[in-house]
Amino acid sequence: MLKYTIRRILSSLPVLFGVLVVTFTLARVIPGDPCKAMLGEKATQEVCDRFMEEKGLNDPIPQQFAAYLKDLARGDLGTSIRFRRPITQILVERLPTTIELGFAGLFLASLIGIPLGIISALRHNSPIDLATMVGANIGVSMPVFWLGLMLAYVFALVLKDTPLWLPPSGRLTAGVVSVPFYEVWGWVADGEEAPRLLQFIANHYIFNSFITGQWDVLKDAIRHLILPSVALATIPMAVIARMTRSSMLQVTNMDYVRTARAKGLRESAVVMRHAFRNALLPIVTIIGLQLGILFSGAILTETIFSLAGVGRSLFEAITARDFPIIQGFTVVIAIGYIIVNLIVDLSYGFLDPRIRLD
Amino acid sequence: MSTKPEPTSDVNIEITKHRSEGPWRIALRRLLRQRSGIAGMIILGFLLFAAIFAPVIAPYDPNEVLIGKEPVKKRAKPCIHLLGCPEDQPQHIMGIDGNVRDEFSRIIYGARISLRVGFLTIGFAIIVGTILGTIAGYAGGWVSNVIMRVLDVLLAFPFLLLAIAIVAVLGPGLINAMLAIAIINIPVYARVSRASVLAVKEDEYVTAARAIGASPTRIITQHILPNSIPPLIVLATLGIGTAILETAALSFLGLGAQPPDPEWGAMLASERNQVFSAPHLVFFPGLAIMLTVLGFNLLGDGLRDALDPRVRID
């Protein structure tokens, strides 16, 4: 198991290196003068020369790449040209937004998609099955940005002054503050800055308010997350429902399922323990593959619901030619990608004992 | 889509009766027995009709500003005479957009852009992807390794992120957005064609062709490629829908089609801040995108079942 894990990590290194090369190259070939983009069109040649010199942008490209790799190895992602702040600090603030959104989206998609797929398979060719499949087809065809805007219109405007009203933007209502757990528990003295890791954890508002018992904040944060995560979850939900259905259809005709039924097991035990467990492998694979869709969706969802997450920041950085942010964020996302794929691969061994990983 | 077993004798009769039928006619006949395939073809039929006859269907020119020509207001709600809109007002069934143009005419003309986007991007991706995949599959060894690893790197990025980056390099615009979407779709087609090449490369008929001295080009074009066409057709049909969706997303972010082009994603983007006051200007373009993508997805599903001999249709 350990051997396989190490081999698997090593085999993803070339891809990671490729990602670094592509990101670095893309960031360099994006047209436009970073100096003019950051300091404004009126920046004089002299000011620009000094700026380029300071940022190391005049060095030969291979030298810039080597310097970049060296910093990266030390965990230093550089400093944003636009915000003049360390990238890691910006990540500490913005990554939790995207993580919460992504988790909520995936949770919702699985929570609804898997049962719908199971029911469709069990009631094959019934009206429920037909409706689910029509719904799934519509779901995968849905433009995320359109769904997001229409949800905002319905829940923030049409249902205004009803209990169903939901906020259309931001993570918390203005005035509501999520007090970090390390302050609640007195880990960090007042006025002192907490370590970045603690800040990063505390910036997951839902998690933070849950463990510290700030129920009003928790409720507010969840209410703000509902619309974006529904918009984000639609396509993955449809994909998961389809995959669950076809995977379940395949196993329900197997001999061992018939045997389980024949020996008089309760239907729920047959479905969950004998059929679903064996149908799980392709479902887990497809859930893992949703990460790319989720992140692409996050760029759009964060734009629509005014969430300062990684997706929107990255989009803005690309249009503003903020190279360090483009590089830093992309690397973090690519690593996240590789980790998730690794987890999916490793989970096969647990789900199907026939698969030996070493 | 049900899979009832047929009596064997019927099957035999079928075979003798239709012996002269080619595989494509059989596929078409199977497709016409599919609910999803038919639904997809109906939707796409409407779309194609709208695109071809746009000048006849659309009551206005898509870029015609109606200020001073008609007593209409900016972002006016839809006015349909049949639904009780006063007869003395000009009819605009999808309302008026932010620049006082007829929304319905723009949606109709938008079908032309979307269809072009779908076919051109996927066409490009298929051609490049098939060439790369076939070379990788046929040559094997380090050639295959280099090609496939480079494509793996492309797949390691979330698609929209890579597309945004490519457009940022090339500059915003519909053509560049299409190129970006085409590039990010290449790996899929390369993988599929490589897999089909690998599947038949060692088959006897290929070995036989090689033995009688056929050139690699001839073997690939005459013997190997025809085998990979059915899976590619299915993938391409589903891919066209996705490509339209992705290009619309880029346009929505301001990186694709630029005003005044009546592209659905761009139309939606330009009115997105008015969604609370003029929801119809967001609703109709989005609905058009969704129906188009749905049409291609349904047809793709139908084709998959029709072209797969393992699926029985009755």
Gap from A185 CA to chain B (nearest CA, Å): 39
More confident residue, B100 or B288: B288
More confident residue, B15 or A212: A212
Tell me how many degrees the CA angle A345-A351-A354 measures, rounded to the nearest 5.
Answer: 90
Please report, for the domain that includes residue A142, its CATH number. Answer: 1.10.3720.10
Helix (H, G, I), strand (E, B) or coil at B38: helix
Q: Is B273 on the interface with A (CB under 8 A)?
A: no
Residue A235 domain flag: yes
Residue written as tokens 């084709």? B303
Within 8 A of B161 by CB-CB distance, chain A residues are: 295-296, 299, 314, 330, 333
In which region does residue B269 sit, left (phi positive, over 0), alpha (psi from -120 to 50) or beta (all else)?
Answer: alpha
- What's the pLDDT at B1? 42
Question: A23 to chain B nearest CA, in Å?
Answer: 9
CB within 8 Å: A153 and B171: no
Q: Is the pLDDT of residue B314 over 50?
A: no
For residue A166, being part of any structural domain is answered with yes
Top residue of B3, B145, B153 to mutate, by most chain A CBs within 10 Å, is: B153
- The answer to whether residue B48 sits within a structural domain is yes
Return the closest-CA partner of residue B113 out of B285, B269, B275, B232.
B285
Question: What pLDDT score does A93 carry?
Answer: 92
How confident is the model at residue A271, as a pLDDT? Answer: 87
Domain span at A110: 92-178+214-306
Tallying the residues shown for chain A, one arrives at: 358
How buried is A220 (Cβ within 10 angstroms: 0-12 exposed, 13-18 middle, 19+ buried)?
Answer: buried
Q: Hey, are the CB atoms on A299 and B272 less than 8 Å from each other?
A: no
> Would you call A26 and B165 a contact, using CB atoms and an 8 Å cutoff?
yes
Question: What is the pTM assigned to this prediction?
Answer: 0.86
Q: How far from A258 is each of A263, A275, B5, B45, CA to CA, in Å?
A: 9, 10, 20, 45
**Per-residue pLDDT band at B245 (split at 50, 70, 90):** very high
The alpha carbon of residue B159 is apart from the nearest alpha carbon of chain A, in Å, by 7
Out of B169, B285, B290, the one facing A142 most closely (by C-beta) is B290
Q: What is the pLDDT of residue B313?
A: 47
Give the range of the structural domain holding residue B124, as residue numbers without chain letter: 34-306
The chain A residue lying nearest B166, using CA atoms, is A26
Contact B285 A146 (CB under 8 A): yes
Bridge partner list, B92: B79
As for how many domains chain A has, the answer is 1
Residue B165 touches chain A, beta carbons under 8 Å = yes
Distance CA A3, CA A358 (A): 7
When CB atoms are compared, the residue of A26, A141, A295 closest to B169 is A26
**Is the ipTM beyond the 0.95 threshold?**
no
Q: What pLDDT, on a 0 to 100 scale, did the predictor assign at position A356?
A: 62
Kindly determine whether residue A300 and residue B252, on different chains, have CB atoms separated by under 8 Å.
yes
What is the number of domains present in chain B?
Answer: 1
Q: Which residues of A touch B286 (CB under 8 A)?
A: 143, 145-147, 149-150
Asked if B96 and B102 count as a contact pair (C-beta separation under 8 A), the reply is yes
Q: What is the pLDDT of residue B21?
A: 67
Residues of chain B positioned with their CB less than 8 A from the CB of A299: 160-161, 164, 253
Among B36, B265, B282, beta carbon nearest to A150? B282
Residue A237 covered by a domain: yes
Give CA–CA dist A251/A275, Å, rounded. 6
Closest residue in B to A124 (Cα–Cα): B2
Average pLDDT over residues B125-148: 89
Q: Is residue A228 part of a domain?
A: yes
Put simply, whether B277 touches A (Cβ < 8 Å) is: no
Best CA proximity match to A329, nearest among A32, A90, A55, A84:
A90
Task: Answer whether A248's CB lies under 8 Å from A122's CB.
Answer: yes
Please give chain A's pLDDT, 358 residues, in tens.
678 778 877 877 887 888 888 888 877 777 777 677 667 777 778 888 887 787 777 778 888 888 888 888 888 888 887 888 899 999 999 999 999 999 999 999 999 999 999 999 988 888 999 899 889 999 999 999 999 999 999 999 999 998 999 998 889 998 899 999 998 888 887 777 888 899 999 999 999 999 999 999 999 999 999 999 999 999 999 999 999 998 888 888 888 888 888 888 888 888 888 888 888 888 888 888 787 788 888 999 999 999 999 988 988 887 777 878 888 888 888 778 778 877 877 787 777 777 665 5
Residue B223, domain member (yes or no): yes
Q: How far apart are CA B255 and CA B67, in angstroms?
A: 29
> CB distance B152–A15 less than 8 Å?
yes
Residue B240 domain-assigned (yes or no): yes
Phi first, then psi: give them for residue B283, nearest 5 degrees.
-65, -50
**Residue A64 to residue A85: CA distance in whole angstroms:** 20
Determine, yes or no, domain membership for A253.
yes
Question: Tokens at residue A131, please?
Answer: 């409706």
**Nearest chain B residue (CA) to A135:** B294
**Chain B residues with beta carbon closer than 8 angstroms to that of A26:** 165-166, 168-169
Residue B275 lies in a domain: yes
CB A132 within 8 A of CB A240: no
A-B CB pairs within 8 A amount to 129
Instruction: Report how far residue B117's alpha carbon sits from residue A19's, in angstroms, rounded to the nearest whole number.
Output: 28
Residue numbers in A near B248 (CB within 8 A): 143
Query: Residue B152 pLDDT more than 90?
Result: no
Which three-class secondary structure state does DSSP give residue B96?
strand
User: Which element (helix H / strand E) includes B82?
Assistant: none
pLDDT given for residue A47 in this prediction: 82
Domain-located, residue A238: yes
Kindly report the nearest CA distance between residue B91 and chain A, in angstroms. 25
Identify all chain B residues contacting A333, using CB atoms and an 8 Å cutoff: 158, 161
pLDDT at B294: 95
* B2 band by pLDDT with thresholds 50, 70 and 90: very low
Q: CA–CA separation, A351 vs A346, rounded Å?
A: 9
Interface mutation target, options B34, B161, B264, chain A, most CBs of A under 10 Å: B161
- Residue B76 domain flag: yes
Task: Write the CATH number for B221.
Answer: 1.10.3720.10
Judged by a CB distance cut-off of 8 A, whether residue B82 touches chain A is: no
What percent of chain B has a predicted confidence (pLDDT) above 70? Answer: 91
Suggest the residue from B157, B264, B273, B294 to mutate for an interface test with chain A (most A CBs closer than 10 A). B157
Q: Check CB contact under 8 Å for B286 and A138.
A: no
CB contact B288 to A (< 8 Å): no
Q: Using one digit for the tens of pLDDT, what is the confidence trace for B276-306?
A: 999 999 999 999 999 999 999 999 888 887 8
Domain-located, residue B136: yes
CB pair distance less than 8 Å for B161 and A295: yes
Number of H helices, E strands in chain A: 16, 0
B8 has pLDDT over 70:
no
**Is B268 within 8 Å of A295 when comparing Cβ atoms?**
no
Check residue B311 and give its pLDDT. 57
Q: Which of A17, A145, A335 to mutate to test the interface with B (most CBs of B within 10 A)?
A: A145
Nearest alpha-carbon partner for A252 in A232, A223, A272: A272
**pLDDT surpasses 50 at B81:** yes
A31 to chain B: nearest residue by CA?
B169
User: pLDDT tens digits for B181-219?
Assistant: 999 999 989 988 888 888 888 788 888 888 898 888 888
Burial of B129 (0-12, 13-18, 19+ CB in 10 A): buried
C-alpha atoms less than 13 angstroms from C-alpha of A268 in its C-beta half-sphere = 0
Q: Which amino acid is at B158?
A: P
Has residue A340 been placed in a domain? Answer: no
Contacts of B291 in chain A (CB under 8 A): 141
CA of A221 vs chain B CAs: smallest distance (Å): 23
Nearest to B159 among A19, A143, A292 (CB): A292
Taking the Cβ of residue B142 and every Cβ of chain A, the question of whether any pair is shorter than 8 Å is answered with no
In angstroms, the separation between the Cα of residue B294 and the nearest Cα of chain A is 5
Q: Report the candidate in B297, B287, B277 with the shortest Cα–Cα distance to residue B234.
A: B297
**In this structure, is residue A248 part of a structural domain?**
yes
In-domain check, residue B248:
yes
Q: Do the chains contact at B268 and A149, CB–CB below 8 Å?
A: yes
- The pLDDT value recorded for residue B230 is 79
Indicate which of A134, A146, A232, A235 best probes the interface with B, i.e. most B CBs within 10 Å of its own CB: A146
